[in-house]
C-alpha cells in the first residue's frame, strides 16, 4: 500500500511525524520546517474523510514527563498549519477513549511519546555491562511491544512519516508496524520524498560528487566520512573537526575544540583519501577568537598555529576560497554540518561561503542535498533555502541512509 493509493475514508489513521521542533524559552516554535514537512500526509488523511491521530517525540525527556517538552505547547501551531482544530491527548498511552470518539475530519495530537521509556525501549536505571542489564533489556523490549500495541489499537492505518527518527527502532517508528498488515501501513509523502532524494544521490551520482562535512566533532561523523571516501571526488572537512586534523598533523590549535583520542583516526582519513584519489579539502586557516562568544576579539590564524588563549571558531578566508573552488563545478553535493559556530553572527562567514557556493553550483545544474538541523538552519539563515535542490528533515537518518544502511522505520513497512 502507498500513501497515494490509500483511501482513508471513515478510517482512523495514526501518523508518526517528527514534530521535534526547536522552541524558545517561552515555548514558541522558532523553526516550523518539520511541521510544514508533515502537512501533505496529514492533509491527505483529512481530505479523504479520515480521522487523524498524530504522534511524535520532542527532545530527550529520557522516559520521564517534562512539561518543557510537552507537545501540548504546539497544539495551536499544528492546528493553524493544518487549518483544522486539534485536540490534545495529555497521556499518549491512555488515549483510547479520545481516539475512539474521533469523527472523520477530526484530529488528535498525542503527548510526547518519549515521556514513556518504552518508546525508545532502553532500560532505565541499569548500567550497561552489569549482570542486570540483559534481563532489564529483555523486559523493556516486552514493554515496548505492549506500548506499540496500545498505540496501534487507536487506528486502522499506520503511516510512518518521521524521517528524522527513521534510523531508530522505536515503538512508534518501527515496532508498531507489526500490528498492521501490509494493506494498512505505509510510508508518508515526506518519507517517500526523502527516500527519493537519497536515491538521487546514491544511484544516480553525477560527477564530480562533493561532500561537505562540518559540525563539531570527528567522532560522531567518522562512519559517514569513511563511507564517503569510497564515493566522492571531493571531501571538504570543516567546522570543529578541522582542529583535530590540524593537531594530528603536528599543528598547535590553542583552545580549539579538538579530540585528542581521534588523532590517529584523522591521519587515517588523510591516508585513505590519498589511496582512493579523493581530493580532501581541509581548512588551512581560521578565524580565531579569544573567547567562545559572539563578541570575542577575532584574528585570522593558520589552522595549525593558533596561540594559547585563542580558539578557531570559523573557517578563514583562504579555506573559504578552497571550499568554494571544490564546490563550484560539482554536479552532486551533500552538505552536513556548519563550517563554524554559525549561531554567533560574527562567525558565520565560512558557513555562508559554503552555502553561497552550493547555491551557485545548483544554479549551474548540480543536485544539492542539505541535511542535519544545523546546515538546514544555516541555509535558512542565509536565505538560500530555495537555491538548493533538496533540504532533508533528517540529520542522523540522512547520513545512515547515505551510508547505505537500511533504516528500521523503512524496513518495518517495506520488509
Residue whose CB is less far from ligand AMP, 216 or 380: 216
Residue in the shown chain whose Cβ atom is closest to ligand AMP: 215
Paired sense of beta strands 252-253 and 305-306, if any: parallel
Contact 231, 353 (CB under 8 A): no
Please identify which of the residues 373, 394, 395, 409 carries the catalytic annotation: 373
Q: Please, what sign has the CA dihedral across residues 14, 17, 20, 25?
A: negative
Of 371, 404, 374, 370, nearest in space to 387 by CA: 370
Q: How far is the CB of 119 from ligand AMP (least distance, A)?
A: 22
Please say if 217 is a catalytic residue.
yes
Q: How far is the CB of 40 from ligand AMP (least distance, A)?
A: 28
Contact 73, 24 (CB under 8 A): no
Please say if 340 is a catalytic residue.
no
Please identify which of the residues 240, 371, 396, 409 carries the catalytic annotation: 396
Question: 398: part of which helix (H) or strand (E)?
Answer: helix 396-402
Q: How far is the CB of 240 from ligand AMP (least distance, A)?
A: 4
Residue whose CB is less far from ligand AMP, 158 or 347: 347
Residue whose CB is less far from ligand AMP, 214 or 408: 214
Q: How far is the CB of 161 from ligand AMP (least distance, A)?
A: 24
Q: How far is the CB of 380 from ligand AMP (least distance, A)?
A: 14
Contact set with ligand AMP (CB under 6 A): 215-217, 220, 239-240, 257, 312-313, 337-338, 340-341, 343, 372, 374
Q: In the numeric block, which cell numbers belong to residue 391?
A: 533540504
Please identify which of the residues 217, 321, 405, 414 carries the catalytic annotation: 217
54 Cβ neighbours under 8 A, 6+ residues apart:
14, 15, 17, 19, 38, 42, 78, 86, 107, 108, 109, 110
Residue whose CB is less far from ligand AMP, 176 or 257: 257
What is the chain's percent helix, strand, coil content, to nearest 5?
45, 15, 40
Tell me the C-alpha distance between 206 and 213, whole Å.
19
Residue whose CB is less far from ligand AMP, 37 or 340: 340
| Residue positions annotated with a catalytic role | 34, 217, 373, 396
Amino acid at each position: 500500500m502507498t500513501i497515494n493509493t490509500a483511501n482513508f475514508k471513515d478510517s482512523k489513521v495514526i501518523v508518526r511525524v517528527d514534530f521535534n521542533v526547536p522552541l524558545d524559552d517561552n515555548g514558541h516554535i522558532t523553526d516550523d520546517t518539520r511541521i510544514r514537512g508533515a502537512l501533505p500526509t496529514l492533509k491527505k488523511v483529512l481530505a479523504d474523510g479520515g480521522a487523524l491521530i498524530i504522534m511524535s517525540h520532542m527532545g530527550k525527556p529520557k522516559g520521564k514527563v517534562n512539561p518543557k517538552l510537552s507537545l501540548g505547547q504546539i497544539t495551536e501551531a499544528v492546528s493553524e498549519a493544518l487549518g483544522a482544530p486539534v485536540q490534545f491527548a495529555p497521556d499518549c498511552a491512555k488515549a483510547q477513549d479520545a481516539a475512539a470518539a474521533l469523527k472523520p475530519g477530526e484530529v488528535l495530537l498525542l503527548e510526547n511519546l518519549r515521556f514513556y521509556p518504552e518508546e525508545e525501549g532502553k532500560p532505565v536505571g541499569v548500567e550497561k555491562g552489569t549482570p542486570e542489564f540483559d534481563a532489564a533489556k529483555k523486559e523493556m523490549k516486552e514493554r515496548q511491544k505492549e506500548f506499540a500495541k496500545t498505540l496501534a489499537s487507536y487506528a486502522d492505518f499506520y503511516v510512518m512519516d518521521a524521517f528524522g527518527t527513521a534510523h531508530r527502532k522505536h515503538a512508534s517508528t518501527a515496532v508498531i508496524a507489526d500490528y498492521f498488515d501490509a494493506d494498512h501501513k505505509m510510508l508518508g509523502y515526506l518519507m517517500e520524498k526523502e527516500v527519493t532524494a537519497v536515491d538521487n544521490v546514491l544511484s544516480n551520482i553525477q560527477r564530480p560528487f562533493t561532500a561537505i562535512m562540518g559540525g563539531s566533532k570527528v567522532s560522531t561523523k567518522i562512519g559517514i566520512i569513511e563511507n564517503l571516501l569510497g564515493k566522492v571526488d571531493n571531501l571538504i572537512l570543516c567546522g570543529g573537526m578541522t582542529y583535530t586534523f590540524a593537531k594530528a598533523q603536528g599543528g598547535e590549535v590553542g583552545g580549539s575544540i579538538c579530540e585528542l583520542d581521534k588523532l590517529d583516526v584523522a591521519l587515517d582519513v588523510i591516508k585513505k583519501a590519498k589511496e582512493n584519489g579523493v581530493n580532501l579539502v581541509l581548512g588551512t586557516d581560521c578565524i580565531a577568537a579569544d573567547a567562545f562568544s559572539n563578541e570575542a576579539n577575532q584574528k585570522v590564524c593558520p589552522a595549525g598555529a593558533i596561540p594559547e588563549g585563542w580558539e578557531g571558531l570559523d573557517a578563514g578566508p583562504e579555506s573559504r576560497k578552497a571550499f568554494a573552488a571544490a564546490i563550484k563545478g560539482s554536479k552532486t553535493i551533500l552538505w552536513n554540518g556548519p563550517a563554524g559556530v554559525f549561531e554567533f553572527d560574527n562567525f558565520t562567514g565560512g558557513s555562508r561561503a559554503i552555502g553561497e557556493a552550493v547555491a551557485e553550483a545548483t544554479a549551474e545544474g548540480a543536485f544539492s542535498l542539505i541535511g542535519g538541523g544545523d546546515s538546514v538552519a544555516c541555509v535558512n539563515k542565509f536565505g538560500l533555502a530555495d537555491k538548493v535542490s533538496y533540504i532533508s528533515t533528517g540529520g542522523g537518518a540522512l547520513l545512515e541512509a547515505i551510508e547505505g544502511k537500511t533504516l528500521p522505520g523503512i524496513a518495518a513497512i517495506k520488509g
